[in-house]
Amino acid sequence: MTTLIFGHQNPDTDALTSAMSWAEYQRQLGNPDVEAVALGEPNDETKFALDYFKVAAPRVIKTAANETDTVMLVDHNEFQQSVADIADVTIASVVDHHRVANFKTAAPLFYRAEPVGSTNSLIYKMFKEKGFTVPATLAGLMASGIISDTLLLKSPTTTPLEREVLPELAAIAGLDLEAYGLAMLKAGTNLAAKSDLDIVEGDAKSFEMAGKTVRIGQVNVVDLTEIEARQAAIEATMKAEAEQNGYDTFVLIATDILNSNSIGLAYGQDQDKLEAAFGATFDADRRLALPGVVSRKKQVVPPLQAAYEA
Ligand code: ZN
Ligand code: ZN
């Protein structure tokens, strides 16, 4: 049976392309029977990368146990961010750069996690450890994952590993890093092409915090006023999603990728938790100013978790 490899739901560029790079690593390791799949369609930014390198998007799966008994996780570990029937299959390996939470297996597994800026930079490090080579097209896709997660090395999630390996991958792929990176990031910010649901849910993840389910979406923009102009519809969409899916709180972080600032919009009972987490208050327009905040993983989840558990 083919082992399926996939990143988290609502795949971002790192999730989607790290499934491909981990599949290639497995093949070079002598495991040919693997397939990179995805838990959702590529977003606009990822589509730009796939089109640029003329690579088809991975097949989308909704469940895994109907076609395999073994999976490999990349770019996530929390079960509520994984395939719906994750509890029914064996997890052979995890390669990740997120916190470990809500994760449990019956059998031993290969688990590699490092607090680095992207899963692709970690996988590239593992390629180098084995002396494996990265094909040019894959190098371009891996570079795209790193660019996405680190906002072209500008996010505080960037570590020395990304500064070292991103230029190496760009060289293998023959990429002009600055030009390609900005074009790719901007491709993900075309709000006119996104529905309210795309904006709210397109990159959203669920987190358990002190027994509550907190849904945190993030959208990259080049102009925050585009989000502000659609705020009422966005809030109504967050409310509907929360009611339909049982989220206690829904938070949308809109991030200005050119100026490295965000605003937060929220629906739910726990807005005091958000205010405590960031030491700020929602203004009269129900917006939370988040200067310097660009990373959900590093600058939003930890303080919010602390506020919930206080
Ligand atoms: Zn990701
Ligand atoms: Zn990632």
84 touches 63 (CB < 8 A)? yes
SS percent in the chain: helix, strand, coil, step 5:
45, 20, 35
**pTM, 2 dp:** 0.92
Ligand that lies nearest to the alpha carbon of residue 204, given by its number in the listed order: 1
Q: Where are the beta strands (DSSP E) in 193-260?
A: 205-209, 212-221, 249-256
284 CA to centre of ligand 2 in angstroms: 34
**68, 73, 78, 84: CA torsion to nearest 10:** -30
**DSSP structure class, residue 210:** T
31 CA to centre of ligand 1 in angstroms: 24
Do 20 and 73 lie in one domain? The reply is yes
pLDDT in tens, 27-70: 999 999 999 999 999 999 999 999 999 999 999 999 999 999 99
Do 195 and 181 lie in one domain? The reply is no
Do 73 and 210 lie in one domain? The reply is no
Domain boundary among the residues 187, 217, 247 is at 187
Question: In sequence order, what are the residues at sequence separation of 6 or more whose Cβ sits closer than 8 angstroms to the Cβ of residue 29?
Answer: 130, 132
pLDDT at 179 over 90: yes
Report the pLDDT value the prediction gives residue 212, as an integer from 0 to 100.
95
72 CA to centre of ligand 1 in angstroms: 15
Do 176 and 304 lie in one domain? The reply is no
Domain region containing 278: 191-309
Ligand that lies nearest to the alpha carbon of residue 121, given by its number in the listed order: 2
pLDDT in tens, 97-143: 999 998 999 999 999 999 999 999 999 999 999 999 999 999 999 99
Do 22 and 79 lie in one domain? The reply is yes
Domain boundary among the residues 187, 216, 236 is at 187
142 touches 124 (CB < 8 A)? yes
Cα–Cα distance between 127 and 143 in angstroms, integer?
Answer: 14
Do 182 and 225 lie in one domain? The reply is no
Do 117 and 203 lie in one domain? The reply is no
Ligand that lies nearest to the alpha carbon of residue 16, given by its number in the listed order: 1
223 CA to centre of ligand 2 in angstroms: 24
What is the percentage of the chain residues whose pLDDT exceeds 90? 98
Report the pLDDT value the prediction gives residue 239, as an integer from 0 to 100.
98
Do 225 and 258 lie in one domain? The reply is yes
Do 247 and 212 lie in one domain? The reply is yes
Do 68 and 175 lie in one domain? The reply is yes
Which of helix, strand or coil describes residue 13?
helix
Do 198 and 108 lie in one domain? The reply is no
Domain boundary among the residues 147, 170, 187 is at 187
Question: In sequence order, what are the residues at sequence separation of 6 or more whose Cβ sits closer than 8 angstroms to the Cβ of residue 142?
Answer: 17, 18, 21, 120, 123, 124, 134, 169
17 CA to centre of ligand 2 in angstroms: 10
CATH number for the domain that contains residue 120? 3.90.1640.10
Cα–Cα distance between 142 and 75 in angstroms, integer?
Answer: 13
Q: How many domains does the chain have?
A: 2
pLDDT at 269 over 90: no
Question: What is each CA distance from 307 to 89, 103, 108, 205, 270, in whole angstroms?
Answer: 34, 22, 34, 18, 10
Average pLDDT, the chain: 96
Ligand that lies nearest to the alpha carbon of residue 157, given by its number in the listed order: 2
Do 16 and 103 lie in one domain? The reply is yes
177 CA to centre of ligand 1 in angstroms: 20
186 CA to centre of ligand 2 in angstroms: 18
Give me the mean pLDDT over the 226-237 stretch.
97
96 CA to centre of ligand 1 in angstroms: 9
